Amino acid sequence: MCMILQQEARFPIGVFDSGVGGLTVLQEVHRQLPNESVVYFGDTARLPYGKRSPAEIIEYVYEILHWMQSLEVKMAIMACNTSSALALDVVRPEFDIKLIDTVDLEGGPGTQFAL
């Protein structure tokens, strides 16, 4: 059991947003999980997502998650409401990593991340 936990600890947590707003989520991840490695992707090249079609956003999320999967993230936090609303249910079955959206994180003060 200890060996599994040590192996799991070497994999980073992924956080992504359509821009830089997800940096507040990243800050909270660091606060609650100071010993975890984190990979952040802010898609500033294609923002704002609000002007994009649902199909485009879903494609962007696939691209980002495939990239994160190549980095062997153990979980990915979708810190973008637009991505969460339009793509989460579509992409979730396609990936073996745990996907968390902003709604999952809105438990208020004291909400803890569950790995």
The token duo for 93 is: 């079955």
In a domain? residue 45: yes
Q: What is the pLDDT of residues 53-74, one digit of tens each?
A: 999 999 999 999 999 999 999 9
In a domain? residue 58: yes
Domain with 23, as residue range(s), is 13-31+38-105
In a domain? residue 5: no
In a domain? residue 6: no
In a domain? residue 114: no
Q: CB of 19 within 8 A of CB of 41?
A: no
pLDDT of residue 102: 77
- What single-letter DSSP state applies at residue 76? E
In a domain? residue 112: no
- Type of residue numbered 13: I
Phi, psi (deg, nearest 5) at residue 31? -65, -45
Q: In CATH, what number is assigned to the domain containing residue 17?
A: 3.40.50.1860
In a domain? residue 1: no
| Helix and strand counts by DSSP (H, E) for the chain | 5, 4
Q: What is the pLDDT of residues 13-64, one digit of tens each?
A: 999 999 999 999 999 999 999 999 999 999 999 999 989 999 999 999 999 9
pLDDT of residue 3: 41
